[in-house]
Amino acid sequence: MAWMLLMLFVGCDEEPLLYRCTCSRTGGEKSIEEGGAGELLDETFSQSVCETETNMINAYKENGVLMSSLEECEELFSAEYTDVVCDCECEHAGSCD
């Protein structure tokens, strides 16, 4: 999921801003016999990115970079876990230095 945050592109007319993002993926146990991992999925990580406000807004829209990546995450991990949820929350944290 970290790679999806790096896929955002800096716009030409706006000053990039610093955003702190916390992302998680959770899912229920699917047995090894069922092709699963045999354990619960519960991962959280944080990453800071410099991006324009417009690109961050667009990333959260339907078919935006971030929303598409979250959907891909859920599809990918659904092979090994049940009820997978991938989520990412980003907050403005100041200017990029």
∠ Cα 40 42 47 (to 5°): 160
Task: Give the gyration radius of the chain's Cα atoms.
Answer: 15
38 within a domain of the structure (yes/no): yes
Rounded CA gap, 39 and 7, in Å? Answer: 30
Tokens 């045999």 correspond to: 38
What's the CA gap between 47 and 42, in Å, rounded?
17
The answer to whether position 36 is within a domain reads yes
Q: Which residue has the tokens 């929350």?
A: 89
The residues with which 23 forms a beta bridge, in sequence order, are: 45, 88
The CATH number of residue 45's host domain is 3.30.1280
- Please report whether residue 11 resides in a domain: no
Domain assignment present for residue 30? The answer is: yes
Q: What is the domain range of residue 53?
A: 17-95
Taking the C-alpha atoms of residue 63 and residue 19, their distance in angstroms, rounded to an integer, is 20
- Residue 54 falls within a domain, yes or no? yes
Q: Is residue 6 in some structural domain? A: no
The answer to the question of residue 9 being in a domain is no
pLDDT of residue 97: 78
pLDDT for res 12: 55
Q: How many helices (H) and strands (E) does the chain have?
A: 3, 3
Instruction: Going residue by residue through the chain, which has 97 residues, state the pLDDT in tens, using 9 for 90 and above.
Output: 544 444 444 445 789 999 999 999 999 999 999 989 899 999 999 999 999 999 999 999 999 999 999 999 999 999 999 999 999 999 999 999 7
